[in-house]
Amino acid sequence: MSAAQQKQVLKNCHLASMQNALPGIGIIRDGAIVIQERVIKWVGVESELPQQYASWQDLDLGGRWVLPAFIDCHTHLVYGGDRSKEFEQRLQGLSYAQIAAAGGGILSTVKETRKADFEQLFAVSSTRLEQMIALGVGSVEIKSGYGLNTETEIKMLQVARTLAERLRVQVVTSFLGAHAVPPEFASRADCYVDLVIGEMLPEAARLGLVDAVDVFCENIGFSLAQTRRIFEKAADLALPVRLHAEQLSNSHGAGMAAEFGALSCDHLEYLDSAGAKAMADAGTIAVLLPGAFYFLNETRKPPVDLLREHGVPMAVATDCNPGSSPTTNLVLMVNMACTLFGLTVDEALLSVTRHGAAALGLHKTFGQISPGFVADLRVWDFDHPVQLAYSFGQVPDCERV
């Protein structure tokens, strides 16, 4: 970075700052942002810019809007193959659970992901991540979970780390070894959990590849008791947890995850009041995934009113994966969160910035245009941020500054 870029004032712009201290999405019209070495030093109305920054190099943004880069806090974007055949089977009447029970579903992606070598997996994953970046994403969570053995789980997590280096975005990894029971452990789920706890997770953590631990807690996934064992191991390793909870049934996963201080509980269509209260008390973020709801043709919506009532912050993510949400478009999810789940536009925009950051434990550094935060900013071509939620299937242009 040149010396000039280290100190910069962005001028002639409107901000949706997402600051906690301001109402809604923290709009500041005719604003300015002072940046030094990628950290935000000052934010406010341009006419009030402190004198000390007056001589710094400035960049005129021509009256455009600046938002924090988006945060996609739930993705499975590293995977081999696709599941378009299963899409056709579902159109013919088979359910997601029936396909999984017949050995398709997650396990068919496991086969393809095990087969792919590192470079092949990197190539398909970087294409997906580039699509996300083009739509304004700057931080992304990436799960393992299509390896289901030590070698392939590690390969997936190494791909995730390499994506961060080569594409210059922030990647937070989640170890999801307990995504499904692999075929070699069929009918021996507890033995597989032994392997997850005894070898897979500790080895991936030892290599520095794990930022958090996730489990698919569901009647077609892992039981509450099995999830607890994995979370206890995560606690031993001082790793934070998150959970796929109450997606297809109420397994009471959210309440248990909250006991472990989970960063987030995700999906939540079947969340009950006790679960919502536990999440609120633990400061756990609710991650809503309208792409999976839409693509699986679900009818039960996550209890948004309950989450509001208990003051649980809501994040929204793509859930990018080949089976239940084959999309890389987080801006489309903003629209769907409004149309399908009834979020307000402000809630939906906060869900992919400030609250997305909180779901990843990044609430002090990302997701807001505030002093002390990382200057990961995008400049958008629209008249008002509502247009991000309003249009669907196409996204206004954005530029990285």
Residues that bind ligand NIG (CB under 6 A): 76, 105-106, 109, 216, 244, 247, 292, 319, 321-324
Q: Which is nearer to Fe ion, 211 or 319 (CB)?
A: 319
Name, in order, each residue with C-beta under 8 angstroms of 257's C-beta and a sequence gap of 6 or more.
217, 227, 231, 241, 242, 243, 245, 265, 279, 284
Least gap, CB of 246 to ligand NIG (angstroms): 11
Residue 253, binding choice from ligand NIG, Fe ion, none, Cβ under 5 to 8 Å by partner class:
none
Q: Which is nearer to ligand NIG, 215 or 374 (CB)?
A: 215
Least gap, CB of 224 to ligand NIG (angstroms): 16
Q: Which is nearer to ligand NIG, 183 or 311 (CB)?
A: 183
Least gap, CB of 160 to Fe ion (angstroms): 15
Do the bridges between strand 70-72 and strand 137-143 make them parallel or antiparallel, or are there none, so unpaired?
parallel
Token digits for 230? 């994995």
Least gap, CB of 217 to ligand NIG (angstroms): 10
Query: Angle 118-134/150-167 helices, nearest 10 degrees?
Result: 40
Q: Which is nearer to ligand NIG, 115 or 384 (CB)?
A: 115
Q: Which is nearer to Fe ion, 68 or 240 (CB)?
A: 240
Query: Angle 106-115/150-167 helices, nearest 10 degrees?
Result: 70
Do the bridges between strand 27-36 and strand 39-45 make them parallel or antiparallel, or are there none, so unpaired?
antiparallel
Token digits for 195? 């392997």
Least gap, CB of 150 to Fe ion (angstroms): 21
Residue 106, binding choice from Fe ion, ligand NIG, none, Cβ under 5 to 8 Å by partner class:
ligand NIG
Residue 323, binding choice from ligand NIG, Fe ion, none, Cβ under 5 to 8 Å by partner class:
ligand NIG
Q: Which is nearer to ligand NIG, 64 or 74 (CB)?
A: 74
- Burial string for 283-299 (b: 16+ CB within 10 Å, else e) reads ebbbbbbbbbbbbbebe
Least gap, CB of 47 to Fe ion (angstroms): 46
Asked if 298 interacts with Fe ion (CB under 5 A), we say no
Residue 324, binding choice from Fe ion, ligand NIG, none, Cβ under 5 to 8 Å by partner class:
ligand NIG
Least gap, CB of 364 to ligand NIG (angstroms): 27
Please give the torsion angle defined by the CA atoms of residues 337, 343, 344 and 346, in that order, rounded to the nearest 10 degrees: -70
Distance (Å, whole) CA 302 – CA 292: 12
Residue 155, binding choice from Fe ion, ligand NIG, none, Cβ under 5 to 8 Å by partner class:
none
Backbone φ and ψ for 147, nearest 5 degrees, come out as -105, -55
Q: Which is nearer to ligand NIG, 179 or 229 (CB)?
A: 179
Least gap, CB of 51 to ligand NIG (angstroms): 51
Each residue 313-352 as x (binds Fe ion by CB under 5 A) or -, in order, gives ------x---------------------------------
Least gap, CB of 179 to Fe ion (angstroms): 8
Residue 227, binding choice from Fe ion, ligand NIG, none, Cβ under 5 to 8 Å by partner class:
none
Q: Which is nearer to Fe ion, 218 or 319 (CB)?
A: 319
Q: Which is nearer to ligand NIG, 189 or 386 (CB)?
A: 189
Which residues of this protein are in contact with Fe ion, per CB under 5 A? Answer: 319
